[in-house]
Amino acid sequence: MRYKFKVILAAIVSVTGLNFYAQKDSVSAWKFKSLYSLNGTQSSFVNWNAGGRNNISLLASFSGGLYYSHKHIKWSNDLNMAFGGVRYLDKNPGLILQKTDDRVDFSSIIGHQFSKYLFTSFIAGFKTQMVNGYAYPNDSVRVSTFMAPGYLNLGLGIDYIKSDNFSIFTSPIAAKSTFVMDKVLSDAGAFGVEKGKRYRQEFGAYIKMKYNHTLAKNIEMKSKLELFSNYLHKPQNIDINAELQLLFRINAFISTTVQWNLIYDDDVNIRDAKGKIGPRTQFKSVIGVGLSYKLESK
């Protein structure tokens, strides 16, 4: 009886063993990385000659990635989210609460390798924000909200992947969709859509570059650059989205983060300090000190 049981067991293993190994390989082919951060500042003034308003600010952010690599297939998924604001604690009239950061940025790229560093790849990217944005210091004029704008980028092209920290994706066949789902903003023709329309479609060329580097033992750099040229309307005016982030890690739980963002879109009109309306280069700088925790698979 014991001999028959061993024979039956061996037969089962021989038939299903391929599936066992495939499951093991498929699990090991996945990698997960994430970083959770909470930064804050507090300022108070008593008889301060230079002036100032008592305030407290918080900024929460999440950066995560899920990556698959097996044989000739690579699939990368990245999600970056951040939300922060400042609240003034004094009794002065005027602005009490102001948003300082609000973003949702997701990208996914899947490719098939045909040479050592080259992949035929398809990329998809989505960006928007979570809550209303206002024309500060006027907190009654809404200038943005969830899916106003929302951006969807799709592209088919060649991806040069030197390593997990350096890649260049080039697509001569790309589409950029702009959504303005808020009626007030769409009626005003915000973010390049025609007045009354809630959707704008562009076709052109798209380039995305990523470069990450460990500058020192506890200093990490992450950078990203996206370029898009619309074939059908002013192709010489290239849309730019650039990001540079430095992470200074004090220990496993305390860190300092410095981030710069630069955006230029010829179709987005912005009112400057002098009241003139037209395309403008947008720039944002965020510095935070607080708690951070990294979680990743081995």
- Indicate which CATH number applies to the domain containing 79: 2.40.230
Whether residue 48 is contained in a domain is answered as yes
Give the distance from CA 114 to its chain's centroid: 28
Q: Is residue 217 part of a domain?
A: yes
Query: Is residue 1, in this structure, part of any structural domain at all?
Result: no
> Which range of residues forms the domain containing residue 155?
31-296
pLDDT averaged over every residue in the chain: 87
With respect to residue 55, please indicate whether it lies within any of the assigned structural domains.
yes
Per-residue pLDDT at 25: 52
Identify the DSSP state of 17: H
* First-residue to last-residue Cα distance in the chain: 43
Neighbour count for residue 232 (Cβ, 10 Å): 9
CA–CA distance, 197 with 14 (Å, rounded to integer): 61
Please report whether residue 10 resides in a domain. no
User: Total structural domains in the chain?
Assistant: 1
Phi first, then psi: give them for residue 184, nearest 5 degrees: -60, -45
From the first residue on, what is the mean pLDDT of each consecutive set of 10 residues in the chain (298 residues)? 45 39 60 93 82 89 94 95 91 80 96 96 97 83 93 97 93 97 94 93 97 93 96 94 94 91 91 79 90 88
Model pTM?
A: 0.85
Six-digit token string for 167: 């890649």
21 belongs to a structural domain? no
What is the secondary structure of 117-176 as a DSSP string? SEEEEEEEEEEE-SS-EE-TT-TTSEEEBTTBTEEEEEEEEEEEEEETTEEEEEEEEEEE
Residue 19 lies in a domain: no
User: Looking at residue 11, what is its pLDDT?
Assistant: 44
Q: Would you say 190 and 196 are in contact if contact means Cβ atoms under 8 Å apart?
A: no
Per-residue pLDDT of 46-81, as tens digits, reads: 878 777 888 999 999 999 999 999 999 999 999 999
Inside any domain, residue 81:
yes
In this structure, what token pair is assigned to residue 207? 């380039």
pLDDT score, position 27: 60
- Provide the CA 21 distance to its chain's centre, in angstroms: 35
